[in-house]
Amino acid sequence: MASFKILLLPGDGIGPEITREARRVIDWLGAKGIATFEVEEDLVGGSAYDAHGEAISEEAMKKAHAADAVLLACVGGPKWDDVPYEKRPEAGLLRLRKDLELFANLRPAICYPALADASSLKRDVIEGLDILIVRELTGGVYFGEPKEIIDLGNGQERGIDTQVYETYEIERIASVAFELARTRQNKVTSMEKRNVMKSGVLWNRVVTATHKAQYADVALEHMLADAGGMQLVRWPKQFDVIVTDNLFGDMLSDVASMLTGSLGMLPSASLGAEDPATGRRKAMYEPVHGSAPDIAGKGIANPIAMIASLGMALRYSFGLGEAADLVDKAIAAVLDKGLRTKDIMQAGRSEVNTAQMGSAIIQALDEIAG
């Protein structure tokens, strides 16, 4: 039986509550003999700062490097608002992304039929929606140098961030998008701002060349990122895979996420380069949402984004597509039954807490697996 190492990083706020439910699903998969999972756990974010004075320890980084997949819940909270910038909870996340070289962030936006009415858009606009945003994660304006605030000496300061991309960075993210499109509807939309940004001109040129050289069978269209934002809320079903840079991807994926209702529903994956020797990629899976300090400790958080993130790990890191489908079906089945955590509660449905939602998903897994 295949064996996989998972590092669980529950993090802060609601993290430990939702991680507990994902752990139950891992144990269920193990008990069913789908694979053997060797699970380790460690601290990240504010909880790691409290224990070690750093947002992630060297020991935890070692475990992350050794794992087949890292499953991280969420970090942050008001308790750590005043810690030094380089030790803030998010620094743990950024270090994981940087050191594991996780350059491709995958965010699916899928509309579960049972939740179509919870969206701020009309049902016919989003029903059946299934798009995937592929965001470049380790380059662009979040990392480019110079990045500083300069005192101009005249009572003024100047804040500088630098948007910078090199050919290889665009090639590798475009390749991920094209490869994924081949497993879906075979269409990629590349978004940049080539009308006003040099990095956009290069982005457009390199995506076009990568397409021509290796992926001519995939449909490719280019769209300015601002127009893309508009099209995402006008008629999102026109898209299959969207590939874009770090900054635009941050915003566009948040827009896409709200098409489907609640933050508590949205998983994501971050992938690194393929190791030529093993064919495996370093990978981290995490919900899109934050640590929800307003509801932490109350046992009412929605664990679905965390469980769906585990589902993505099954699909993209472990090659267990059927098990991933099973998890997705169990989530859909529970929603069809009318069970809702508070964040997605609708009139006439039954409100459940975090643990009850987890139990219902395990029960649905049992029913579907037979």
Q: How far is the CB of 269 from ligand NAD (least distance, A)?
A: 13
Of the candidates 68, 165, 193, 240, the residue annotated as catalytic is 193
Nearest residue to 270 via CA among 130, 75, 134: 134
Q: Which amino acid is at 76?
A: G
Piece in contact with ligand NAD (CB under 6 A), picked from 119-127, 158-166, 184-192, 297-305: 297-305
Active-site residue, 285 included: no
Compute how many other C-beta atoms are within 10 angstroms of the C-beta atom of residue 85: 7
Binding characters for ligand NAD, 79-108, by CB under 6 A (x = yes): --------------x---------------
Active-site residue, 193 included: yes
Nearest residue to 226 via CA among 257, 211, 247, 209: 247
Residue among 109, 301, 327, 334 that touches ligand NAD (CB under 6 A): 301
Q: How far is the CB of 299 from ligand NAD (least distance, A)?
A: 11
Q: How large is the angle between the packed helices 354-369 and 15-31, nearest 10 degrees?
A: 20
Rounded distance between C-alpha atoms, residue 343 and residue 40, angstroms:
30
The DSSP letter of residue 194 is: T
Rounded distance between C-alpha atoms, residue 26 and residue 21, angstroms:
9
Q: Is 289 in the site for ligand NAD (CB under 6 A)?
A: yes
Rounded distance between C-alpha atoms, residue 170 and residue 156, angstroms:
36
Binding characters for ligand NAD, 231-270, by CB under 6 A (x = yes): --------------------------------xx------
Q: How far is the CB of 310 from ligand NAD (least distance, A)?
A: 14
Nearer residue to ligand NAD within complex by CB, 293 or 319: 293
Q: Which amino acid is at 315?
A: R
Active-site residue, 254 included: yes
Rounded distance between C-alpha atoms, residue 189 and residue 195, angstroms:
17
**Footprint of ligand NAD on 303-322 (CB under 6 A):** 305
Q: Is 290 in the site for ligand NAD (CB under 6 A)?
A: yes
- Asked whether the beta carbons of 288 and 257 are under 8 A apart, the reply is yes
Rounded distance between C-alpha atoms, residue 264 and residue 279, angstroms:
32
Q: How far is the CB of 280 from ligand NAD (least distance, A)?
A: 24
Q: How far is the CB of 142 from ligand NAD (least distance, A)?
A: 14
Q: Is 291 in the site for ligand NAD (CB under 6 A)?
A: yes
**Footprint of ligand NAD on 51-80 (CB under 6 A):** 74-77
Q: How far is the CB of 294 from ligand NAD (least distance, A)?
A: 5
Of the candidates 142, 165, 285, 316, the residue annotated as catalytic is 142
Q: Is 293 in the site for ligand NAD (CB under 6 A)?
A: yes
Q: Is 295 in the site for ligand NAD (CB under 6 A)?
A: yes
> What tokens does 64 get?
């992350």
Nearer residue to ligand NAD within complex by CB, 200 or 264: 264
- DSSP string computed for 70-110: EEEEE---GGGTTS-GGGSHHHHHHHHHHHTT--EEEEEEE
Q: Binders of ligand NAD: how many residues, by CB under 6 A? A: 20
Measured CA to CA in angstroms, residue 245 lies from 137, 163, 179 at distances of 7, 10, 17
User: In 3-state terms, what secondary structure has residue 120?
Assistant: coil
Of the candidates 99, 161, 254, 325, the residue annotated as catalytic is 254
User: In 3-state terms, what secondary structure has residue 303?
Assistant: coil
State the DSSP H helix or E strand holding residue 221, giving kind and residue range, or none if neither.
strand 219-224
> What tokens does 7 get?
């590092």
Of the candidates 99, 130, 161, 226, the residue annotated as catalytic is 226
Q: Is 189 in the site for ligand NAD (CB under 6 A)?
A: no
Q: Is 22 in the site for ligand NAD (CB under 6 A)?
A: no
Binding site for ligand NAD (CB under 6 A): 14, 74-77, 93, 263-264, 286, 289-295, 301-302, 305, 343
Q: Give the residue numbers marked as catalytic.
A: 142, 193, 226, 250, 254
